[in-house]
Amino acid sequence: MIPEDLRYTKEHEWVKVDGNKAVMGITDHAQSQLGDITFVELPQPGNEVKASDSISTVESVKAASDIYAPVSGKIVEVNSALEDAPEAINSAPYTDGWICKVELSHPSEVDNLMSAAEYKELTQE
C-alpha cells in the first residue's frame, strides 16, 4: 500500500503537497515495523522546521522513533486527534493518521523526495 500521489523519505515519512502546504505522516511500512503505536508527541504549531529536522516522536510497544520533516516550512496544524487515538497511525497512516501540516518555505525540496515507485523499491530491499 504505497499511494502514488505522495512523496517519500528514506526514513519512511510521506508528504502530500497541496499548493503551498504539505501534509505529512509516516508510511504504512513504518507503522508495521513499529507495531502498535501507543503515543505520539506532536510538533508545536508555529515552529519553523528544516527538512530532516526531528519534529515528532512516535512510541510503540516495540520502540520510540523520531519523525523527521520531509520538507522545510512552518507547522500550521497538528493532528490533535492522535493524542487520544495514536492507533490511527496503525489503521490509516495516509488518512486519519497524518501528523502535521506545513506551509512550505522551499517548495522545490519536494523534488528531492522519492516517488512511490522509488519508495516501493527501497522497502523491498
pLDDT confidence bin for 103, thresholds 50/70/90: very high
Q: What is the pTM of this model?
A: 0.95
**Distance (Å, whole) CA 27 – CA 36:** 14
Task: Quote the pLDDT of residue 125.
Answer: 75
pLDDT at 1 over 90: no
d(CA 108, CA 31): 27
pLDDT averaged over every residue in the chain? 97
Q: In this model, does residue 121 exceed pLDDT 90?
A: yes
Domains of the chain: 7-108 (2.40.50.100)
Is residue 54 a contact partner of residue 64, using CB atoms and an 8 Å limit? no
Q: What is the pLDDT of residues 4-50, one digit of tens each?
A: 999 999 999 999 999 999 999 999 999 999 999 999 999 999 999 99
Bridge partners, residue 22, by sequence: 17, 102
As a whole number of angstroms, the distance between CA 123 and CA 125 comes to 6
The arrangement of strands across the sheet holding 37-41 comes to: 37-41, 54-60, 64-68
